[in-house]
Structure 1
Amino acid sequence: MKIQFHRRFINFPIPIVLIGLVLFSCKSINPAVNPGRSTPPPIATTDVNVPLKIPKETLSKLLNGQIPTLLLQEKGLDMGSGITGDFQLMRNGKISWTALDSQRIQLTVPINVVGEVGLKPKGLGSLFQSKLPLNEDFAPVFVIDPVINPDWSLGAESFELMDLGGNLAVEVLGMQVDLSGLLSKELRKWGNENLTGGKEIASLKTMVDLAWAQVGKPFSIEWLGGNTAFSIQPQQLKIKEFFDDDQNYNLWLGMNGKINSHPAEAAPSRAFPLPGLSQNDNSKNELEITIPLSVSYAKLDELLKQNLEGKAFRVDKKTTLIPSNIKTQAFGDLLAINMDFTAEQTNGKTLSGTLFVVGQPEYNAATQSLVFEDINFKMESGNFGAQTGVGLKKRKIIRSIERRAVLPIGDLIDESMGSIQNRLGLSTPIANLKIQNLEIIPAGFHPLKNELLIQFKAAGSVGVEWK
């Protein structure tokens, strides 16, 4: 049966076969048929992960700057043996520390005990009302398990007093009274009440909020003669913390969220609030931001006309095609281009009609241009001769359109997106952060009802300079 079919086919006159193929190919696209709505573009997101290795010297500065000077204050404290007193513990020098393992550190905190002691106001105490002053220096040694809480407070999970670092003794009515045990008891009591269960010792929130107000504030990008504003809306903030063998404090900070677009005049005035902290298991240094920018079809028509309209391009040795009246629109997930054409032949004949071209917008990194791939077209109008002539040269016309329907956008990327690197830089009291190795490329083209949406992807890493 295959042989019989083949024989029947080749018995048709060749011109009729060719015309049939042309007409069949032209019916592969029907402009009148609704291809359905285009697939919604993916949500524009931002993902950043920064593994910070905080040097021991930097963390020492942070601890000494955040832990309060006044540690403990007591009035009318019963010290036993009929003795009572008032005293306060003040930091008296720089705190030093050593990491014992990945989670625990040993702190040596120089303190000064200032106050006065005396007998209780009864019995002998009613006869001797004078009080003895206290002014002694100590260097107690603690072991704590520091932790950063979800609200950015700095606390400790556990506390242990290893050494009081001095003795406290006073003479009352000729009696030597050792108050070291009492002081140790008070320090342990204070530590268990204030340095366990993650209770706040100091807060990083002010510093974090100031940094986020700088980075998270909405920014604008100039694009094709207009401005579009963008804001970062964090959805998850992640952290992991540990000490390494070199006594560095490691913080793996991660954030992901949405990128919102706004008219430039309607951008939010401040950064979105930060969410609470959750666990982070990512150790990579990476930054990726998706920036959605759109081109109206009217603007796209204007840009394409610069390369296509009125420009003659040769289809073959005998035919030259001149496009005009270019109009773009969405055709499902493809971009459609309507264009009138005039085909001039060397024999003096002129053919005219309308092409309905569809293709997939793509980015050519080598030429930094928006190009069209998988192009197909249909003769939407024109006489029979034009349909036949154009249809027979379909592949050549497609290749010509692919070569000419090119929109260079490299300069637009450089001009419009180059400020992102500086915009996302950050200066804090303990470190300067800057974006490095930033690359920005179009990562997706989405034909929508009134515009072509281009999603640009900015990818790089974060460099840190500690102070």
Structure 2
Amino acid sequence: MKIQFLRRFINIQLLVVGLCLVLYSCKSINPAIDPGKPSIPPPTTAEMNVPLKIPKATLDKLLNSQIPSILLQEKGMDMGSGIKGDLLLKRNGKISWAALDSQRIQLTVPINITGEVGLKPKGLGSLFQSKLPLNEDFSPVFVIDPVINSNWGIGAESFELVDLGGNLAVEVLGMQVDLSGLLSKEIRRWGNENLTGGKEIASLKTLVDLAWSQVGKPFEVDWTAGKTAFSIQPEQVKLSEFFDKDENFNLWLGMNGKINSHPVDAAPSRPFPLPKLSPNPNSSNSLELLLPLTIGYDRLDAILKEKVEGKQFLADRKTTLIPSNFKTKAFGDLLAISMDFIAEQSNGKSLNGTLFAVGKPTYDATSQSLIFTNVNFKMESGSLGAQTSVGLKKAKIIRQIEKKAVFPIGDLLDENIGSIKGRLGLSTPISNMNITDLEIAPDGFYPTAYGLMIQMKASGKVRVDWK
């Protein structure tokens, strides 16, 4: 009798301990408490760095198309030694060049000089007022240090006339007068005034604006919550340039900015303006965009209803849970899901209740799916029997939730790869640019007051084919 009583007493104690453990486990989260402020999502950014290697042949085309045909035009020019003249210097053929080092190039510019010269109107000049016509071809050789200015203008830091490339002589009063020295002096004066200190002689701005009008225009991403438009707002554009041993012109072009999201019908109609250039020490080839995609809780509830509602969660071989009526919200850094359930048992009995579950949204790269980890839950309502039954099977139920709550997004990622590739590719008169090795994957999940923000990272490289 004592032994039987003792056994009953021990069984009661074990039951009480078991119930305490169940209730303790159910209280491991409390939907009524403040979970704290969620983490602030990192800023959504756009970063690109492209090492452009412009071949010499392409730079030939650029120089010959950009350097103006009229180099100098002046009237009444004082050429010294009592001589004045009207001169017009025009390009007269294709410009050729060679790189002397990483910064300087030697230019040979075929020119034609037309105009007329005469003596100043005093002394002998008052007796001989006729002017002599000029029409001579030259090929002067210059050494300049080209530079791309902050406004995309092409200028030169320094200028040197190495060789005039011809002689200029006229006959005055039966005498040959060599004006080559005077012409050299005038060209040097013109070069020091117009080809030093970065003064603009050509511009890449039209070409850059054409490229940016394609790349910088807002683009759309089709996501499960519908289409979202994004725009790139550049905050810094960086550039460094130099010539290599093969006379290719190397440009290290970089851009940093931020990504703005917009409703599709409220996206900007044109790109943001480009800031002025700054130096770039980076030679890497990289592209990285961080796109903020938000799924509203109403939409997330509908997805859970479609994917999970009515599906059976096997708590054990005798008990099956069937969830319904999903409501999602933020719970600190976790996503909270409130749901009703029916627990059906093999003996025909059923238990009803409400669960408050939390989990951390995570991306599984192997299956290209959105999954939940660190799942936990609490019984919010239901009979003591339901709480006890569910609490004892908590670990198994958590494993079932983690197993069932899997949302494949691989197809969506593939579709958006094509969309981003199409937007960031461009064609210009001198080159075609394409994005290669592009990969898109979720980089972070951030429950907010309005929905679940998913930051998608797009990374790749840039390929340039020169014409």
TM-based fold match above 0.5: yes
CA-to-aligned-CA distance 1:106-128 (integer Å, 9 cap, x gap): 11111111111122223433333
Unaligned runs of 5+ in 2: 1-9
Worse-matched range after superposition: 133-142 or 213-222: 213-222
For the pair 1:153 / 2:156, whether they are aligned, the reply is no
SS at match of 2:362: strand
Unaligned runs of 5+ in 1: 1-9
Q: Residue 5 of structure 1 corresponds to which residue in structure 2?
A: none
Residue 439 of structure 2 aligns with an amino acid whose one-letter code is: E
SS at match of 1:24: helix
Shift of 1:225: 5.9
Shift of 1:220: 2.1
Name the Cα RMSD after superposition: 1.5
Q: Residue 390 of structure 1 corresponds to which residue in structure 2?
A: 390
Structure 1: distance between partners of 2:366 and 2:426? 33
Structure 1: distance between partners of 2:195 and 2:82? 30
Q: Residue 319 of structure 2 corresponds to which residue in structure 1?
A: 319
Q: Residue 233 of structure 1 corresponds to which residue in structure 2?
A: 233
Structure 1: distance between partners of 2:99 and 2:272? 36
Indicate conservation of the 8 Å contact 1:221/1:416, yes or no.
yes
CA-to-aligned-CA distance 1:174-221 (integer Å, 9 cap, x gap): 011110001110111111111111111111112111211111111222
For the pair 1:135 / 2:135, whether they are aligned, the reply is yes
Q: Residue 5 of structure 2 corresponds to which residue in structure 1?
A: none
Q: Residue 295 of structure 2 corresponds to which residue in structure 1?
A: 295
Residue 46 of structure 2 aligns with an amino acid whose one-letter code is: T
Q: Residue 187 of structure 2 corresponds to which residue in structure 1?
A: 187
Indicate conservation of the 8 Å contact 2:358/2:377, yes or no.
yes
CA-to-aligned-CA distance 1:133-171 (integer Å, 9 cap, x gap): 111111111111111011111011111111111111110
SS at match of 2:316: coil
Q: Residue 27 of structure 1 corresponds to which residue in structure 2?
A: 27
Shift of 1:304: 1.3
Q: Residue 89 of structure 2 corresponds to which residue in structure 1?
A: 89
Q: Residue 73 of structure 1 corresponds to which residue in structure 2?
A: 73
TM-score by length of 1: 0.95
Shift of 1:379: 0.9
Residue 67 of structure 1 aligns with an amino acid whose one-letter code is: I
Residue 212 of structure 2 aligns with an amino acid whose one-letter code is: W
Q: Residue 407 of structure 1 corresponds to which residue in structure 2?
A: 407
For the pair 1:343 / 2:343, whether they are aligned, the reply is yes
Structure 2: distance between partners of 1:435 and 1:361? 30
Q: Residue 283 of structure 2 corresponds to which residue in structure 1?
A: 283
For the pair 1:272 / 2:277, whether they are aligned, the reply is no
CA-to-aligned-CA distance 1:229-282 (integer Å, 9 cap, x gap): 111100010011111111100000000101011111111111111011111111
Indicate conservation of the 8 Å contact 1:304/1:406, yes or no.
no
CA-to-aligned-CA distance 1:295-354 (integer Å, 9 cap, x gap): 111111111122221111211111111111111111111101111111111122222211
Structure 1: distance between partners of 2:56 and 2:90? 24
Residue 85 of structure 1 aligns with an amino acid whose one-letter code is: G
For the pair 1:208 / 2:187, whether they are aligned, the reply is no
Residue 412 of structure 2 aligns with an amino acid whose one-letter code is: L
SS at match of 2:236: strand
TM-score by length of 2: 0.95
Q: Residue 55 of structure 2 corresponds to which residue in structure 1?
A: 55
Q: Residue 305 of structure 1 corresponds to which residue in structure 2?
A: 305
Shift of 1:36: 2.8
Q: Residue 457 of structure 2 corresponds to which residue in structure 1?
A: 457
Shift of 1:12: 8.3
Structure 2: distance between partners of 1:382 and 1:415? 44
Indicate conservation of the 8 Å contact 2:417/2:438, yes or no.
no
Q: Residue 373 of structure 2 corresponds to which residue in structure 1?
A: 373
Structure 2: distance between partners of 1:82 and 1:238? 51
Residue 84 of structure 1 aligns with an amino acid whose one-letter code is: K
Indicate conservation of the 8 Å contact 2:313/2:401, yes or no.
no
Structure 1: distance between partners of 2:280 and 2:99? 22
Q: Residue 110 of structure 1 corresponds to which residue in structure 2?
A: 110
Shift of 1:417: 4.8
Structure 2: distance between partners of 1:15 and 1:381? 21
Residue 442 of structure 1 aligns with an amino acid whose one-letter code is: P
Aligned length: 458
Worse-matched range after superposition: 57-66 or 113-122: 113-122
Q: Residue 178 of structure 1 corresponds to which residue in structure 2?
A: 178
Taking every aligned residue pair, what percent have the same amino acid on both sides?
72
Structure 1: distance between partners of 2:47 and 2:156? 30
Structure 2: distance between partners of 1:336 and 1:163? 79
Q: Residue 431 of structure 2 corresponds to which residue in structure 1?
A: 431
Residue 362 of structure 1 aligns with an amino acid whose one-letter code is: T
SS at match of 2:272: coil
Shift of 1:391: 1.0
Indicate conservation of the 8 Å contact 1:59/1:249, yes or no.
yes
Q: Residue 6 of structure 2 corresponds to which residue in structure 1?
A: none
Shift of 1:88: 1.2
SS at match of 1:419: helix
Indicate conservation of the 8 Å contact 2:110/2:138, yes or no.
yes
